[in-house]
Structure 1
């Protein structure tokens, strides 16, 4: 009898403890997308990192009478946002390299001169973010402009898209690049009228420079990733798909995972250029959908970017009729690399910007599908930026995911017409066309190419305007997303794109309590104001990991 009473008391105590541990957040305007609809709610209960229920405070307070209540004070609550295509190491390194984003040519040269004063002797001056398309003459800069600064450091500055770089003569000399240097396949060494390197290297030619630059240590990469975690969480990102990492960076991630030092969710894509690529594929997936580190995909870049004219086009560039862009791999090698991944049960995520690159990638994925159904892998085309109109239905036929970055459209809107001409814009940045045929869009930013702030992406997706409100009617506004579609692209469909929709992506019972609180309601304000919305708090697995300073 006493034993039975003791067991009953212990059970009651355990039940009470469990009930007491429940947290009930309420007094907010909540939104989440499901497979069928946009759901609104004003209260949510969670325990041990997972959602128990969503609904009203009346219903949940009755169901969980002993829950600890958190008053959200009328804010807006959304599921944690997911960036389906970013570069964590690059984001984390932004505070250690020179950021030239939005600079004029003269402004960039002034910033370079100032930055050099803080460097140690013989240290490389590294930076990124310049964009000649925004300069009056729209021409590539030259090494002579850097040499005129009389800086005694090798200088290497990546273009905003990461697909071209600008070097001074000292950097070119250290890399052994001169008039006789052979151009690597899939790259370009821009030359002057005498055949000398001008200082600009495009796509695979950048590897010649990269080999001369001291690579960061494991400790430096670890610090950069930790910087990136803090930045991402402060912007409301609870998950990032890291779009192309080396074996070295993977090892840093694994060490952080062992130390339980990853405060968000990371879904890395193994670069096909990684050392030991085949061996890593043979070793299989890393982690599981519910773990902070989960890797089961590879990244291959088929071509370059529009801004540097490296995107591979079916017809010549409208503003340079003799050029069609670059393929970064021979077609047969590309197929071999993709097949090696799928044979090892890996999802393939392929960067394709130009219509030729997209067509080739679709052809390869169709070939693989004919050999064996690829549906379970959920293959992705990263960017899917310019697509031949006749190729668009193939995304649906092959069950592909379009991994797209809304801010690319609003950043490229002035340049895209120059590069493509108006006719080819019909299949460019075609979000609504893809959605209408049932193709999921996994939204991201491609940071640090674009700012990491997902509010900028939500704004661009809905308005097709830049943050200055131009053009007022929206650029090719027929391809804009609805607010519900945009939210889903940054949450549930992004989670689907990483095989994680059963554990994150919305706040259905049983999923992780990953959510954010905002200062404004993105469904009620003027859409042009969405980019200004501030993240007040970020929660991962039921724990607050960021609070905006007062």
Structure 2
């Protein structure tokens, strides 16, 4: 039996009492939390003694929503997030072809552009991408993941032309001559993106190891696969066969495309096996607020009637929710706009009325513009909002432009939710942004945009409440409150060691606190 005693610093339990002098870990499980003298006596003279030298030990963070495989895949793509104009996007794509010595016909994928940051206010069209990479099929993906552009060769390989029907809940843009520009939104874009060939398996396996290290470097020990489909199954099988996983992965399946997943991973529904658990189902109800595809009750600023649009009809949503209810699995719904929130709430209320049964801890993912008037109904349904609160910093000024100041001040209304006693979580939707939990905590506490504007003072929350959103509440979202999220006897020894106690730090300095070590089941997983 290997025992370790942690002492000599701050031990932040996220329980009552909030602090302890020492902690004893044995075989990946917490055996004692409390006084140092008792811990040393319990651990015995042979125990490993870890003097934290004034640093802070607290529960490892749990990622309530991201796309683990996409994070790995993004490491093999051209990064476009800092491009200032269309020409720089094209230049980076062309440079990538030369640097990687791609052969004619090999796919080029770019990710992370944001039209709000481009001089032209829109991405390059298919013909610009053709000129940048004349011998290659190309796709570039918006930072939100919901829209993007294909070049002519890509459209040809995917069998798409001007006569191709546009899927429900999507847009295939055409110019004044009726030609496809290559730009597509939501279902039109995502359905084609799924058909783009995956990179080489070895390259993907290497990228998956790097992606795990990236999560762990931010203090995260549990991650999410926010939309797993049958096409991803060989990658997971290879990862498990090679024993590459060191983080826990909670996967949510597309209910339309998970037959093979359930055949091969059905024994993982609701519990872990080799670090992988099937958490339930995932559906999309609308798009992205910064991409102007989120579905709103009122028009976008400057528009007469445009409010975004839905992905599914009410009956389709009802069918998805009823299926999850009948199988007794959790459901996550991507929901940004307040009209999408209204659809989710009203359909779930109808389902409860008609069946007399309730879904288990349903989650509203992003909940960017959920109305404060809608939150009491959300609480009544036992629904958990998982806020993408870092939008305040990364796209806050864009939201002011798109929705006006009054609506923008209440994006990710964590303050209102806290007042109502609603448990909520925070996420980064990685790879949309880096899975930087302390930056997200900083965003929730300070609510500052990139210009320094305070956006929604009444929605600010305390540092302690923000930390709960990525520890105890996140564990609750995953039905793992008995194993993770706080430091208590019998729970998993999943820790993060920080350079400073965040509860005593200057709130404006929270994002600067260094993550020094991440520990999973008693073993250090970062640094490696």
TM-score computed with the length of structure 2 as normaliser: 0.92
Spell out, residue by residue over 1:40-63, the C-alpha distance to the aligned partner (whole angstroms, 9 max, x if none): 223211111111112232332233
> 1 CA distance for matches of 2:408 and 2:386?
18
Aligned residue in 1 for 2:159:
176
> 1 CA distance for matches of 2:300 and 2:198?
35
> 1 CA distance for matches of 2:221 and 2:195?
36
> 1 CA distance for matches of 2:501 and 2:273?
29
Spell out, residue by residue over 1:177-235, the C-alpha distance to the aligned partner (whole angstroms, 9 max, x if none): 33333221110012222221222110111146336522356666544433322221122
Is the 1:286–1:293 Cα contact (8 Å) retained in structure 2?
no
The count of aligned residue pairs is: 524
Aligned residue in 1 for 2:323:
340
> 1 CA distance for matches of 2:255 and 2:302?
32
- The answer on 1:523 being equivalent to 2:503 is yes
- The answer on 1:133 being equivalent to 2:116 is yes
Spell out, residue by residue over 1:497-531, the C-alpha distance to the aligned partner (whole angstroms, 9 max, x if none): 00001011111010011001112332223222222
- The answer on 1:147 being equivalent to 2:130 is yes
> How far does residue 349 in structure 1 lie from its aligned partner after superposition?
0.6
- The answer on 1:97 being equivalent to 2:77 is yes
- The answer on 1:471 being equivalent to 2:452 is yes
Query: Unmatched 5+ residue regions in structure 1?
Result: 1-17
- Please show how residues 73-84 of structure 1 align to structure 2 within 5 Å: 73-84=53-64
Instruction: Indicate which of 510, 513, 516 corresponds to 1:536.
Output: 516
Is the 1:177–1:208 Cα contact (8 Å) retained in structure 2?
no
> 2 CA distance for matches of 1:364 and 1:175?
35
Aligned residue in 2 for 1:300:
283
> 1 CA distance for matches of 2:336 and 2:505?
33
> How far does residue 237 in structure 1 lie from its aligned partner after superposition?
0.5
Instruction: Indicate which of 39, 43, 57 corresponds to 2:18.
Output: 39
Aligned residue in 2 for 1:3:
none
- Please show how residues 77-476 of structure 1 align to structure 2 within 5 Å: 77-105=57-85, 106-117=87-98, 118=100, 119-149=102-132, 151-207=134-190, 209-210=192-193, 213-216=196-199, 222-250=205-233, 252-253=235-236, 256-257=239-240, 260-276=243-259, 283=266, 286=269, 288=271, 292-372=275-355, 377-425=360-408, 427-466=410-449, 470-471=451-452, 474-476=454-456
> How far does residue 451 in structure 1 lie from its aligned partner after superposition?
1.1
Is the 1:123–1:153 Cα contact (8 Å) retained in structure 2?
yes
> 1 CA distance for matches of 2:360 and 2:499?
38
> How far does residue 306 in structure 1 lie from its aligned partner after superposition?
1.3
Is the 1:175–1:211 Cα contact (8 Å) retained in structure 2?
no
Query: Unmatched 5+ residue regions in structure 2?
Result: none
> 1 CA distance for matches of 2:127 and 2:262?
44
Aligned residue in 2 for 1:482:
462
Bigger radius of gyration among the two = 1
Go from structure 1 to structure 2 and tell me whether the alpha carbon gap of 1:42 and 1:134 turns closer, same or farther (over 3 Å shift).
Answer: farther
Counterpart secondary structure, 2:434: coil
> How far does residue 543 in structure 1 lie from its aligned partner after superposition?
1.1
Go from structure 1 to structure 2 and tell me whether the alpha carbon gap of 1:401 and 1:416 turns closer, same or farther (over 3 Å shift).
Answer: same
Go from structure 1 to structure 2 and tell me whether the alpha carbon gap of 1:38 and 1:387 turns closer, same or farther (over 3 Å shift).
Answer: farther
Is the 1:312–1:357 Cα contact (8 Å) retained in structure 2?
yes
Instruction: Indicate which of 509, 532, 541 corresponds to 2:489.
Output: 509
Q: Which moved more, 1:83-92 or 1:167-176?
A: 167-176
Is the 2:372–2:416 Cα contact (8 Å) retained in structure 1?
no
Go from structure 1 to structure 2 and tell me whether the alpha carbon gap of 1:490 and 1:38 turns closer, same or farther (over 3 Å shift).
Answer: farther
Is the 2:265–2:278 Cα contact (8 Å) retained in structure 1?
no
> 1 CA distance for matches of 2:80 and 2:407?
30
Counterpart secondary structure, 2:21: strand
Go from structure 1 to structure 2 and tell me whether the alpha carbon gap of 1:147 and 1:259 turns closer, same or farther (over 3 Å shift).
Answer: closer
Counterpart secondary structure, 2:418: helix
> 2 CA distance for matches of 1:156 and 1:282?
31
> 2 CA distance for matches of 1:283 and 1:517?
35
Instruction: Indicate which of 36, 42, 53 corresponds to 2:32.
Output: 53
Counterpart secondary structure, 1:243: strand
> 2 CA distance for matches of 1:373 and 1:289?
30
Counterpart secondary structure, 1:46: strand
> How far does residue 471 in structure 1 lie from its aligned partner after superposition?
1.8
CA RMSD of aligned residues (A): 2.5
Go from structure 1 to structure 2 and tell me whether the alpha carbon gap of 1:150 and 1:281 turns closer, same or farther (over 3 Å shift).
Answer: closer
Counterpart secondary structure, 1:204: helix
Spell out, residue by residue over 1:33-82, the C-alpha distance to the aligned partner (whole angstroms, 9 max, x if none): 23xx5712232111111111122323322333423211112111111011
Q: Which moved more, 1:521-530 or 1:408-417?
A: 521-530
> 2 CA distance for matches of 1:182 and 1:252?
31
Go from structure 1 to structure 2 and tell me whether the alpha carbon gap of 1:208 and 1:366 turns closer, same or farther (over 3 Å shift).
Answer: closer
Go from structure 1 to structure 2 and tell me whether the alpha carbon gap of 1:92 and 1:236 turns closer, same or farther (over 3 Å shift).
Answer: same
Q: Which moved more, 1:318-327 or 1:245-254?
A: 245-254
Spell out, residue by residue over 1:341-369, the C-alpha distance to the aligned partner (whole angstroms, 9 max, x if none): 11001001101011111100011221222
Counterpart secondary structure, 1:531: helix
> How far does residue 275 in structure 1 lie from its aligned partner after superposition?
4.1
TM-score computed with the length of structure 1 as normaliser: 0.89
- The answer on 1:496 being equivalent to 2:470 is no
